[in-house]
Amino acid sequence: MSAARNTTLDAATARNHLLAALPADEFGRIAPSLELVRCPAGMILVDDGQPADRAYFPVTCIAARLSTMHNGATGEHGIVGRDGLVGIAAFLGGGPTPGRVETVIGGDALTMPAAPLLAEFRRGAAFQRLLLQYIQTLIVQVSVEAVCRIHHTAEQRLARLLLQVLDRWFSADFPLTQESLGMLLGARRETVSHATSHLQNLNLIRHERGHVRILDAEQLERIACECYQAVASRPGRIIEARP
């Protein structure tokens, strides 16, 4: 690889927790298959019922796993950013995936085809261990959020969601419209508007012109339900960067 590509790849890799945690020799084997791509908001990374023919390791974008019901209602069951990857079916059998994975905040991702990903996974070394740990995290996230949707208020769930995005973003200011928040929460616009207004009145967030700014994450965490702590994934908390 050229020096310029190496520099760009290293900078992007350092921001994705899974790739950054790989030993140098294992990363060296997959590096030629990685490509840095732009993923605008609304891009479908994995479509409903389609096999995952490649994986995406978010660098600055954030994606959500979404399911749409026959009545048109859409709900989120897990978000992924620099903490993980999109396309786990690429190394878990490769079959069709229910629901879709869509970027909700545009940015960059490192992508690679399924074949080299599966080959490295089958070696059974650190790459396999990291991916299996990540799958365990996803299982917990999906399970907790299913219960959360039933038992907690829209305001609690909004606080949890904003904190989860903050954990995966590089600043306290990120682009999320009320429409996007409604899609992620599976709630009507009026419900989202009421919840965001209340959090603003408490001076915990500012939401205007399609952007959210977290003003007081500590107090916001107190508003959020206990589900946030169950699925929290702050940078560096779970996975250490490779030497």
**pLDDT per residue as tens digits for the range 139-181:** 888 777 777 777 788 898 999 899 999 999 888 999 998 888 9
Average pLDDT over residues 61-82: 77
| Largest CA-CA distance found in the chain, in angstroms, rounded | 53
Q: How many CA atoms lie within 13 A of 92 on its CB side?
A: 11
- Per-residue pLDDT, averaged over 88-93, amounts to 84
Give the model's confidence band at 25: pLDDT under 50 very low, under 70 low, under 90 confident, else very high: very high
Cβ neighbours around 171 below 10 Å, total? 8
Averaged pLDDT, 116-122: 94
Question: Where are the domains positioned within the chain?
Answer: 3-116, 149-231
- CATH no., domain 3-116: 2.60.120.10
Whether the per-residue pLDDT at 70 is higher than 80: the answer is: no
Structure confidence by residue, pLDDT tens digits, 31-41: 999 999 999 99
What is the chain's mean pLDDT, rounded? 85
Question: 198 pLDDT exceeds 70?
Answer: yes
pTM of the entire predicted model:
0.86
Supply the CATH classification number for the domain 149-231: 1.10.10.10
Q: Is the pLDDT at 53 greater than 60, yes or no?
A: yes
Q: 3-116 and 149-231: same fold?
A: no
Task: Please check the confidence at residue 235 and state whether its pLDDT lies above 50.
Answer: no
Least confident of 8-12, 28-32, 44-48: 8-12
User: For residue 238, is pLDDT > 80?
Assistant: no
